[in-house]
Structure formats: C-alpha cells, structure tokens
Amino acid sequence: MGVIPYGRQTIEDDDVEAVVNVLRGDYLTTGPTVALFEQAVADYVGARHAVAFSNATAGLHGCTAAAGLGPGDLVGTSPLTFAASANCARYVGADVTLIDIDPDTLNIDPASIPGELDALVAVHFAGLPIDLSKLAYRPRVVIEDAAQALGAWTPSGPVGNCAHSDMTCFSFHPVKPVTTGEGGVVTTNDDELAARLRRFRSHGTQPKPEHGGWYYEVIEEGFNYRLTDIQAALGHSQMGKLDRFIERRQTLARQYDAALASLDIITAPAAPDGSGHGYHLYTVRVPERRRVYELLRERGVYTQVHYVPIHHHPHFADLDAPLPHCDEAYAGILTLPLFPTLTDDQQRQVVAELTDVLSIVRS
C-alpha cells in the first residue's frame, strides 16, 4: 500500500484554483487576500483580531514583543513542545523556566503554574486544549501556543477566542489542521496588541497618510514576518474545510482508541467533558520506542516523535532540571499516522503493523 506518513496536507482542486487566481491577480505579497484570511480565522474562533505571520514561530516572537516582555521577565512553558515555545521568550531577552507536564494530559496542569511567572506560553499539546479558566495563578501575560489546536475548544469556546489569554498563536504548516504552506496567525481581543503585532511583522512601520499617501515611519524595532497573498489564498480556501478535517481526525482517533485498546499501551489522552480535541497528533507510548519506530519504518509506517523535550537540547542546557513526568512520557512517546485523507484501510494497516511489532519487541 506504499509508505504511510505520520502527517500530510490535504489539497483539493478549489485550493489550487484559489492560489492560481491570486497568481493571476495584482497582489502577490501581503494584500487583500491576507485580510480575507485573517478575517476568516477571527470569525472562526470568535476573536476581535487575527494577524497573519510568515510562520507560527514569527507569530510567537510577535506575541512576546507585543506584550512588552524583555530582560528581567520570567516566562514559563512546557518542556514537551517544539523549541519555538521557549525561544520566543529568549528572542526578547526574557528568561525561561519549564513547568513539568501532567502525565495524563501531556499538557501543563493549570493548577501548577508558579506564582513568580511574568508570562505563560501555554502549549495545547497535540491539539488537546488546556482549560485556562482553571489557572491557579494568572501571570501578567498569557500566550496560547495553539500551533496544533486550531479547531479545538474548551468550555469557554473555541481555542483562539482569548477568553482567558492575551493572545493565541496558530500554525498553518502542512501537517497542521489546515495549511498555508508555511504561516501563522495570532488572535487577540486587544486593539493595542493587534496594532503592535501588525507593526512588528512589518519592520515596525506605521503609515502616516497625513504627510502624504506614501509616508510611513519606523516607530519601533520590527521584522519582515509578513505572509503573502499566495499563501493566504490557500489558507482562506482551507478554512472552509476545517470542520470537515477536524471531524475526520476525531473519527480516526476514536478508531485508534478502539483498535489499540487490547495492546497494553498508553493511548492518546481524550478531551474532558465540555472540551474538544483537535487531534493534530495521535500519540501512544510504547516499550523500546526506538526499535518500534525503526521496525515500523521498515514496514512503510512512518511514525514520528513529538517532541525531543526542550531541556534535552544543548541550547537549553541551563534549563536542565528534574522534569520527571515529561522525561517518562518522552521515553516511550510515538506519533502514529493521522491526517484527513488517511483511509480506514491504511489505518488498519498501521494497527496491524504496530500490533506485530509490539509482539516482536516483547518476545
């Protein structure tokens, strides 16, 4: 049946047509289609503003900069995440601390947030959202790293509505719920934060039309983190399919739950009542993870590991502290193939190969 990847974009004819239409139009870089895409994201999650960035890492950098974080501030995040969740603090000169995960959810436990934090980058691991209404302590700045959680929800509504945060950052990488190729979007309900984010992504510039239609001023440090209209055309088309894609991901996750129940492994945590899991990833925890990974790969089942924990990287050696729940999860965690076009037959093949491989490593 060929190689089965852990993730894959779903591009349909109308997506291609949307991109072609922009290529044949007047704008290629940031223009009216970016604005349409931003509005589609804002409308979907119920936020006042959505600001598009070239990628989610740039978006997270924008969040920490717009929030005014800097030297002397302490930013907490999860150790079980990609480096950007911590680097976004270091980009602005802030310090980082890692908060151990809840072994059941693989997210930070909102009841365990230390009181000395100036900011929290709350990672919704694999698309399972943290209920931020349960924060025991609310730092001055709360940023949701929802790179994997577009389409998820909590009792307070869709992730991204910023009901209990200042800003939420989404990713539109090809394996995420919907894609722009590369891209990110930050949502917020704060007018001033939105204005800072827009300046930050475009060299810190501010138009001054009262001095002439051409006139602008660079009023603060910024970067070229803009998204193109080409990418936004794909994203805008894809946003109309998000509910369908999430529904298929949830169906596949339920099928994995049922099919793997007898294998004596830890399967992906489910969302609690009142919340909805986006299932960007479906993770299991297995014995002899490297051997299982390599045997599956030999059989054409391409799994992945999410993630090498932050404190295991040389760049973050200074953060190496006891994080037992994270380290225990990392020792066995493995991401199984899950994407909207994964067929039931392919999923059955994944389950069959995993079942056989587990019998081999346990014999």
Res 1: pLDDT = 57
**Cβ-count burial 59-84 (b if 16+ within 10 Å, e if not):** bbbbbbbbbebeeebbbbbbbbbbeb
Residue 271's closest CA among 104, 137, 30, 138? 104
Rounded Cα–Cα distance for residues 110 and 238 (Å): 32
Res 120: pLDDT = 98
Res 320: pLDDT = 80
Q: Residues in the chain with pLDDT < 70?
A: 1
Per-residue DSSP letter, 77? E
Pair of tokens at residue 167: 């800003």
**Domains of the chain with CATH codes:** 13-239 (3.40.640.10), 242-362 (3.90.1150.10)
**For 239-278, how does the pLDDT look when each residue is reduced to its tens digit (9 = 90+)?**
999 999 999 999 999 999 999 999 999 999 999 999 999 9
Res 174: pLDDT = 96
Rounded Cα–Cα distance for residues 144 and 54 (Å): 18
Residue 186 gets the label, from left (phi > 0), alpha (psi -120 to 50) or beta, of beta
